[in-house]
Structure 1
Amino acid sequence: MTGRPTDDQLRRRIAAGLGEVRVRSHGLTVDALDDAELLRQHSPLMSPLVWDLAHAGNYEEQWLIRAAQGQEAIRPDIDVLYDAFENPRARRVELPLLSPGEAQEYNARVRRRVLDHLDRAVFDSGAALLDGGFVYGMVIQHEHQHDETMLATHQLRRGDPVLREPAPPAPPPTGGQPAGTEAEEVRIPAGPFTMGVSDEPWAYDNERPAHVVRLPAYHIDTAAVTNARYLEFMADGGYDQARWWSPAGWEWRNRSGKRSPAFWRRDAGQWLRRRLGRVEPVPPDEPVQHVCFYEAEAYARWAGKRLPTEAEWEKAARHDPATGRSRLYPWGDAEPGEHHANLGQRLLRPTPAAAFPAGASPYGVRQLVGDVWEWTATDFAGYPGFRAFPYREYSEVFFGGGYKVLRGGSWASHPVSARASFRNWDLPIRRQIFAGFRCARDAEAA
């Protein structure tokens, strides 16, 4: 969201956003699975789906009723059950959780209270939480992020497909070039650019403040690494040669025994993947997903390249060399449309690499937003001048914890958080997330 809309415009946007995300959450839980499946823990890596559903409502109550409105709590007795820091994911199934029906009833009660007050909310009152509707945007984004987490749980779940597979869209135009003839990489010239944001109302604390970063010239791939390319790495013994792996990566490879991306298996000479309950041949032209940081790092070294730093990724995505300013999205400041990127669970899979010419950055780099999260070489930390807001547990407590930054969002990420300044992070061993990567390399000295 850019600019300063009126209070009425903000109210309409917030009401629509709250309604849309709750429909999505129900589509992943009570509309898709029975109570037993919602209460079950499908993987120790993830919560029972019903925990995520009620957690979204409890978070909404804490921030939109108690913090923003100053009203009395509805269910303070369940706060501890839905505190993500008090309860590791592997233990949440043991808690006396609300049943699916109780979670729906509680969430609806919270939502009624929120909407009743929304008509009277004032967004230029001087309260930092309300400025630009921030706290409402935070809650909407939070629930969409949990929806993506719930999709990862669906991916780990065993059983028949329960999510409807949308029809694939018509192939986007190639922008004047035959498909597959785009340059493999582009050179980003040396120089400064503005990283992060300071005036985007719904941006999180870890995206702030905007600051100038100076980078040497470098090359970056115009598309994410595809399944076909990753299969070449595998066929060349990439998992069996320590020289491609960092010491930590080689230790992970030996300990885990992994020799392919998660959810892949070989059958009758063909690589298959399991995707949300469907088993299908691995599509060669899609970006590889469900690889961890160590796998991405090893592939990049095998290819004679490296992973981009977070700053290199953001400059390639946001910097406009013609104006010197940083855009909100690779294509400009207009909110994402279906022609820009594969976002919002519109499909249940990535689209072919180098699609969406309308979403390219000024440097000609494609699909920087949507399809797959992209691992970077950067450890998660605050920017110069970072200030935790509105609570330390969103970002600051993860600084220095060995987390790697991922950028760009995936097909499961909602457009509301698809700005190119958005930062995600995870441990380098994680593979259940919808993550892939692209490569970079140093530019030759002039």
Structure 2
Amino acid sequence: MNDFKERIAAELTAVRGRSLAYTEAEDDLLVRQHSPLMSPLVWDLAHVGNYEELWVLREAGGITPLRPEIDDLYDAFKHPRKNRPSLPILGPVEARRYIEGVRGRVLDVLDRLDPESSDPLHRDAFVFGLVIQHEHQHDETMLATWQLSGAAGLVRDGELPPGKPGGPEEVFVPAGPFTMGTSTLPWAYDNERPAHRVDLPAYWIDRLPVGNRAYADFVEDGGYDDPRWWSPEGWAWRRETGAFAPQFWTRDGDTWWRTRFGRREPVPMDEPVQHVCWHEADAYARWAGKRLPTEAEWEKACGWDPEAERARKYPWGDADPDPGLANLGHRAARPAPLGAYPAGASFYGAEQMIGDVWEWTSSGFQPYPGFRSFPYREYSEVFFGGDYRMLRGGSWAADPAAVRTTFRNWDHPIRRQIFTGFRCARSVSAERSELR
């Protein structure tokens, strides 16, 4: 096996290690549904194996199906998450045995893969990039499930670099065109393609994500009780849910507390705020006299290099992420302090745009000009339109293999169990509101 295939094998091993680590728990915890928003953890475990069987073994390898009778059970588009506990899904022992059997045959397919094939599923090992990223995404979903479960001691933590206070609040992005999306990154999804030119007016964007201290100021200023800051849909959501702060926050005297993977702790005021939905981010931005950036504004500030006239894969360039550049890959079970990664800044000086928290933008989910579904419509095309809002950048729980400047994530504007935050922007022609 050559170096290229050995790197893919290593990625397959690493992602499977994550999946197994996040399902090392009592069977009762794995088969239970901890929230109607999430699947039982054992469903996710078997699903990643079934997805790998479908795409690597059957589609790319031409191998006879191993367990065709379970395909329907693990079809994410046929069964909403809230209904999955009622399905006759595999138990923990059987699920582990199944995915192990799939993986042994997957490595055989890898060994005979021709990455220079004209078949787009084979070329550049796209099919392996597909299943590796898919499994990492489910690993992040598993972490969100554990957060909702309230179970303590099951998710590891770790050390992060200190923050570096100071510096400008905003960075300036001049007017002009840039290239959005990609036509060249081999493992990019269909919704990131094709590359196309977008011309933007000048704007300002926050250098850092909005932090807990700034968000607490919004809460304590009555932000959740003042309809001026909320869209009609957001105000209806706020009144219906009774939300008064980010999810998992509580107030005890003068101190804000949060529950993080089953442990209660004071809210660290120097971290990016997380577990806020789009409506909360939108209301805060309006209270601050700003707005959420569009998806195009976010991507230009993150990855465009006007001197080289090209897009970077990451804010700092094309070098792979490392612990000195971004908080990715579950190095710790939380965002890093604000200002912890100055070396990871973009050309324009925006920091922590990759890792820490997914960042809400103002944009809905739409295809790029010239979009073509590949390898299946259900990954992107069926979600275009509707009320989805775009998320960018990846969180601390996202793996480096599954994030890049062009990566597009999306969710409903009411979702906040995911590891989401945001940063604000403002147009150059707009003065900051002084209503508050």
TM-score, scaled relative to structure 2: 0.97
How far, CA to CA, are the matches of 1:163 and 1:362 in structure 2? 35
- RMSD of aligned Cα (Å): 1.2
Helix, strand or coil for the counterpart of 2:257?
A: strand
Equivalent residue, structure 1, for 2:345 = 360
Equivalent residue, structure 2, for 1:250 = 235
Query: Which one of the candidate residues 387, 395, 403 is aligned to 1:402?
Result: 387
The answer (yes or no) to whether the contact 2:160–2:331 under 8 Å persists in 1 is no
How far, CA to CA, are the matches of 1:182 and 1:195 in structure 2? 28
Following superposition, the deviation at residue 161 of structure 1 comes to 2.3
Equivalent residue, structure 2, for 1:4 = none
Equivalent residue, structure 1, for 2:145 = 153
| Structure 2: runs of 5 or more not aligned | 431-436
Letter in 2 for 1:87: H
How far, CA to CA, are the matches of 1:232 and 1:125 in structure 2? 56
Deviation per CA, 1:107-146: give whole Å up to 9, x if none. 0100011112211111112111011111100100000000
Equivalent residue, structure 2, for 1:280 = 265
Query: Which one of the candidate residues 422, 426, 431 is aligned to 1:437?
Result: 422
How far, CA to CA, are the matches of 1:311 and 1:411 in structure 2? 23
How far, CA to CA, are the matches of 1:265 and 1:171 in structure 2? 25
The answer (yes or no) to whether the contact 2:171–2:205 under 8 Å persists in 1 is yes
Equivalent residue, structure 2, for 1:3 = none
| Structure 1: runs of 5 or more not aligned | 1-6, 173-178
Equivalent residue, structure 2, for 1:237 = 222
How far, CA to CA, are the matches of 1:300 and 1:147 in structure 2? 31
The answer (yes or no) to whether the contact 1:206–1:395 under 8 Å persists in 2 is yes
How far, CA to CA, are the matches of 1:316 and 1:169 in structure 2? 25
Deviation per CA, 1:385-441: give whole Å up to 9, x if none. 000000000001000121000000000000002211000000000010000000000
Equivalent residue, structure 1, for 2:411 = 426
The answer (yes or no) to whether the contact 1:10–1:133 under 8 Å persists in 2 is no
Equivalent residue, structure 2, for 1:121 = 113
Following superposition, the deviation at residue 159 of structure 1 comes to 2.9
Query: Which one of the candidate residues 70, 84, 87 is aligned to 2:76?
Result: 84
Query: Which one of the candidate residues 3, 11, 14 is aligned to 2:5?
Result: 11
Query: Which one of the candidate residues 132, 144, 150 is aligned to 1:140?
Result: 132
How far, CA to CA, are the matches of 1:312 and 1:342 in structure 2? 22
Helix, strand or coil for the counterpart of 1:81?
A: helix
Cα distance change on mapping 1:170 and 1:367 into 2, 3 Å: closer
The yes-or-no answer on 1:169 pairing with 2:160 is yes
Letter in 1 for 2:155: L
How far, CA to CA, are the matches of 2:46 and 2:310 in structure 1? 41
Between stretches 155-164 and 337-346, larger displacement belongs to 155-164
Q: How many residues align?
A: 431
How far, CA to CA, are the matches of 1:400 and 1:22 in structure 2? 33
How far, CA to CA, are the matches of 1:159 and 1:424 in structure 2? 27
Helix, strand or coil for the counterpart of 2:106?
A: helix
Letter in 2 for 1:439: C
Deviation per CA, 1:54-90: give whole Å up to 9, x if none. 0000000000000001111000000000000111100
Letter in 2 for 1:444: S
Between stretches 110-119 and 378-387, larger displacement belongs to 110-119
Following superposition, the deviation at residue 354 of structure 1 comes to 2.2
Following superposition, the deviation at residue 158 of structure 1 comes to 2.4
How far, CA to CA, are the matches of 1:148 and 1:159 in structure 2? 16
Letter in 1 for 2:218: F
Letter in 1 for 2:234: G
Helix, strand or coil for the counterpart of 1:401?
A: coil
The answer (yes or no) to whether the contact 2:171–2:349 under 8 Å persists in 1 is yes
Following superposition, the deviation at residue 278 of structure 1 comes to 1.0
The yes-or-no answer on 1:381 pairing with 2:366 is yes
Equivalent residue, structure 2, for 1:73 = 65
How far, CA to CA, are the matches of 2:109 and 2:176 in structure 1? 48
The answer (yes or no) to whether the contact 1:188–1:219 under 8 Å persists in 2 is yes
The answer (yes or no) to whether the contact 1:379–1:400 under 8 Å persists in 2 is yes
Equivalent residue, structure 1, for 2:88 = 96
Following superposition, the deviation at residue 170 of structure 1 comes to 4.1
How far, CA to CA, are the matches of 2:339 and 2:299 in structure 1? 18
Deviation per CA, 1:281-335: give whole Å up to 9, x if none. 0000000000000000000000000000000000000111222211111000111
The yes-or-no answer on 1:266 pairing with 2:258 is no
Query: Which one of the candidate residues 26, 32, 41 is aligned to 1:34?
Result: 26
How far, CA to CA, are the matches of 2:379 and 2:160 in structure 1? 36
The answer (yes or no) to whether the contact 1:262–1:432 under 8 Å persists in 2 is yes
Helix, strand or coil for the counterpart of 2:228?
A: helix
How far, CA to CA, are the matches of 2:52 and 2:153 in structure 1? 30
The answer (yes or no) to whether the contact 1:44–1:89 under 8 Å persists in 2 is yes
Equivalent residue, structure 1, for 2:433 = none
How far, CA to CA, are the matches of 1:163 and 1:220 in structure 2? 34
TM-score, scaled relative to structure 1: 0.95
Matches within 5 A, 1:204-219: 204-219=189-204
Cα distance change on mapping 1:171 and 1:354 into 2, 3 Å: closer
Following superposition, the deviation at residue 164 of structure 1 comes to 2.2
The answer (yes or no) to whether the contact 2:359–2:423 under 8 Å persists in 1 is yes
- Percent identity at matched positions? 61
Query: Which one of the candidate residues 104, 121, 133 is aligned to 1:112?
Result: 104
Following superposition, the deviation at residue 163 of structure 1 comes to 1.7
How far, CA to CA, are the matches of 2:89 and 2:411 in structure 1? 26
Deviation per CA, 1:219-242: give whole Å up to 9, x if none. 000000000000000111000110
Following superposition, the deviation at residue 363 of structure 1 comes to 0.5
How far, CA to CA, are the matches of 1:60 and 1:212 in structure 2? 35
Helix, strand or coil for the counterpart of 2:378?
A: coil
Following superposition, the deviation at residue 14 of structure 1 comes to 1.1
Helix, strand or coil for the counterpart of 2:363?
A: strand
How far, CA to CA, are the matches of 1:235 and 1:361 in structure 2? 32
The answer (yes or no) to whether the contact 2:334–2:396 under 8 Å persists in 1 is yes
Letter in 2 for 1:330: P
How far, CA to CA, are the matches of 2:109 and 2:299 in structure 1? 38
How far, CA to CA, are the matches of 1:382 and 1:92 in structure 2? 30
Helix, strand or coil for the counterpart of 1:101?
A: helix
